[in-house]
Amino acid sequence: MTLQSVAMQDGLGTLGCSLAPPDLSSVFSLQPVIEAAPGQALFWQGDDAKYVFQVEGGMLRALRLLADGRRVIVGFLHPGDLLGVSLKDRYLYTVEAITEVRLRRYPRRRFEDEVALQPHLRQQLFSKLCDEMTAAQDQAVLLSRRSADEKVANFLLLMANDRDAEPSAFVDLPMTRLDIADYLNMTIETVSRTITKFASKGIIVAPDRRSIIILKRHMLQSIADGDGCDFRSAPMSNGGRRAGFA
């Protein structure tokens, strides 16, 4: 049953008013909510792709397992993101909850039928697929950076942008340092040491291990762009001493 038929049964189609066509979010709003605890896998790489999901709350990580048992984190998922939209018969990666998460789950075949019936939904789905490609390109840019400083600075700036690309000084980092290391193809020690360095020089402050506040965005951007930054003259701040990233 499509959303249009639901509207007709509710009597909405007899009011003579023009209803806006449903978007992907409204399609998912009719589906059941599921919850996952931190560390719980939503699905595994290679599983039959039975469902498409929309994230309603929390953060998840998407990862691929290599033949030698190592993992590579390919992205972090936020509210509004869709999972499984590639519409392959099997999931291409494993998705695990980082925090408590809430999702809407839609059977994949029914989702495909719904999208096929409504051209505007196909356009929105195409946009979501483009978002996935953009995220993959962002990670490729991160991994192409030569230094640890450049990689970590780019990552923090990336996480500081909300879904509308509006920068924020406060950056929520619920993932572990190991998650960041596996995303940036670095060691956990190097990630921790680099964040500590940024904090000690007053570029950021770390109130706890799950968030930072960007104090000097221009300096962080300069590092991310590969322009470098003179760390020699600035003394360690109290905020840096409290960071606890060593």
Using alpha carbons only, give the angle 149, 240, 184 rounded to the nearest 5 degrees.
30
Q: For the segment 77-89, what is each residue's pLDDT rounded down to a tens digit?
A: 999 888 887 767 8
Portion of the chain with pLDDT greater than 70, in percent? 72
Residue 7 makes CB contacts below 8 A (sequence gap 6+) with 13, 19
Domains and their CATH numbers in the chain: 21-142 (2.60.120.10), 146-242 (1.10.10.10)
> Which pLDDT does position 142 carry in this prediction?
64
Residue 135 makes CB contacts below 8 A (sequence gap 6+) with 75
Residue 49 neighbours by CB distance under 10 Å:
17
Token duo for residue 135: 């995220």
Q: For the segment 104-121, what is each residue's pLDDT rounded down to a tens digit?
A: 999 988 888 888 887 777
Confidence of residue 233 (pLDDT cuts 50, 70, 90): very low
For 207-220, b/e burial (b = at least 16 CB within 10 A) is: eeeeebebbeeebb
Token duo for residue 159: 């996480």
Q: How far apart are CA 11 and CA 155, in angstroms?
A: 50
DSSP codes of every residue in 101-142 = EEEEEEEHHHHHHHHHH-HHHHHHHHHHHHHHHHHHHHHHHH
Q: For the segment 151-186, what is each residue's pLDDT rounded down to a tens digit?
A: 999 899 988 876 555 667 899 999 999 999 999 999
